[in-house]
């Protein structure tokens, strides 16, 4: 079967090939009515852009790689979904890869090894070092995301994300404002990739200090990873140890979901006796009964900032690019 061409789409709609090209490449201006007809013709005819030809014409492939540690974690899955949607609005295609936090895999991905020509790489590393980035050979633009990467922005890289410590402080302060004084922190980590836990614990500590509440180590639960099972086990351990708490600040929504299970299994009223605050704003949390509040880390804003930085003819400077967070109160 003959391959459908851009000219075929133009002939079907009765417009110029340039108008079709503008729609396909996200350039120029096309009226809404004509754009809709072109998009319908593309779908009807099964037209697929020739990426190689596009790259030869304008020096861009229209491909972005998004590299994440673990797509089983709801936050990363939702980030990927939002990022792909925002990229599609710009006629960009996203290739998604998973590293499982393996340093060798992160090193390969930052170089784009095994991938086609890319307009940019977006990487959330857990093990990369500044020395690794200094040795990077690829000239493909690289944007880092995630708390582990924030300190690497000074190594000549861009980093996009929220201020985690500030957001955690605001979340804890909200619980204090609700009259909670015995707030347990669920999510401290002592091994592995600990930057997320460290920053969120720092915000928790600052909020307590600002309100004259002493830090009680008996109310700090350590976890090996941010998962439901770990959140459940951590809260059960607090209860077994006789910890007296009236609120939980969980360093991720996955931890909060596990915590809610254990609170319910122990007949503890939420939010009457114990109020719960999560972090990440995942969609699943919207439909939980009992409800819990959370921190929305501005995923859409982060995606737009990243894509702006990668596609702009005048790239943004290296360093940390902060996006806003919001408290979602339920």
- Examine residue 114 and state whether it is found in any structural domain, yes or no: yes
Q: Are residues 31 and 76 in the same domain?
A: no
Segment 169-180 shows an average pLDDT of 98
User: DSSP state, 154?
Assistant: G
Q: Are residues 282 and 175 in the same domain?
A: yes
Domains held by the chain: number: 3
pTM: 0.80
Segment 201-215 shows an average pLDDT of 98
Contact 13, 31 (CB under 8 A): no
Find the DSSP H helices in the chain: 6-13, 17-25, 32-45, 51-58, 74-88, 103-111, 130-134, 147-150, 164-177, 195-210, 228-240, 253-265, 299-311
The alpha carbon of 62 is separated from its chain's Cα centroid by a whole number of angstroms, namely 21
Q: Are residues 231 and 221 in the same domain?
A: yes
Give the CATH number of the domain where residue 169 resides. Answer: 3.40.50.2300
Segment 175-198 shows an average pLDDT of 94
- Examine residue 55 and state whether it is found in any structural domain, yes or no: no
- Examine residue 153 and state whether it is found in any structural domain, yes or no: yes
| pLDDT per position as a tens digit, 256-295 | 999 999 999 999 999 999 999 999 999 999 999 999 999 9
- Examine residue 56 and state whether it is found in any structural domain, yes or no: no
Segment 289-308 shows an average pLDDT of 95
Q: Is the pLDDT of residue 123 over 90?
A: yes
pLDDT computed for residue 227 by the predictor: 94
pLDDT computed for residue 2 by the predictor: 63
- Examine residue 54 and state whether it is found in any structural domain, yes or no: no
Range(s) of the domain holding residue 91 = 63-162+298-324
Strand partners, 66: 96, 122
Q: How confident is the model at residue 112 (pLDDT cuts 50, 70, 90)?
A: very high
Give the CATH number of the domain where residue 31 resides. Answer: 1.10.260.40
- Examine residue 152 and state whether it is found in any structural domain, yes or no: yes
pLDDT computed for residue 142 by the predictor: 93
> Omega of the bond prior to 290 within 30 degrees of 0, cis?
yes
pLDDT computed for residue 44 by the predictor: 84
Q: Are residues 112 and 173 in the same domain?
A: no
């Amino acid at each position: 079967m003959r391959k459908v061409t851009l000219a075929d789409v133009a002939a079907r709609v009765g417009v110029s090939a340039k108008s079709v090209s503008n729609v396909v490449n996200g350039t120029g201006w096309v009226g809404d009515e004509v754009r809709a007809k072109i998009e319908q013709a593309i779908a009807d005819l099964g037209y697929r852009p020739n990426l190689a030809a596009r790259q030869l014409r304008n020096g861009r492939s229209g491909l972005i790689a998004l590299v994440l540690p673990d797509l089983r974690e709801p936050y990363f899955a939702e980030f990927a979904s939002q990022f792909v949607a925002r990229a599609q609005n710009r006629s960009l295609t996203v290739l998604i890869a998973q590293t499982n936090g393996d340093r060798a895999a992160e090193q390969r991905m930052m170089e784009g090894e095994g991938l086609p020509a890319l307009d940019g790489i977006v990487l959330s590393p857990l093990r990369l070092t500044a020395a690794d980035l200094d040795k990077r050979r690829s000239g493909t633009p690289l944007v880092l995301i995630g708390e582990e990467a924030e300190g690497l922005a000074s190594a000549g890289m861009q980093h996009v994300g929220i201020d985690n410590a500030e957001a955690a402080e605001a979340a804890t302060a909200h619980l204090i404002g609700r009259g909670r004084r015995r707030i347990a922190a669920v999510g401290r980590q002592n091994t592995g990739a600990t930057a997320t836990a460290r920053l969120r614990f720092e915000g928790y500590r600052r909020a307590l200090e600002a309100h004259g509440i002493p830090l009680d180590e008996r109310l700090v639960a350590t976890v090996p990873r941010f998962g439901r099972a770990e959140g459940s086990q951590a809260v059960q351990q607090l209860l077994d140890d006789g910890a007296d708490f009236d609120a939980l600040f969980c360093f991720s929504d996955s931890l909060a979901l596990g915590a809610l299970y254990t609170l319910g299994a122990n007949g503890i009223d939420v939010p009457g006796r114990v109020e719960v605050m999560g972090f990440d704003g995942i969609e699943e949390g919207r439909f939980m009964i009992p409800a819990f509040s959370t921190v929305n880390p501005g995923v859409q804003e982060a995606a737009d900032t990243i894509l702006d930085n990668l596609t702009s003819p005048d790239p943004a400077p290296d360093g940390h690019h902060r996006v806003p967070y919001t408290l979602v109160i339920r």
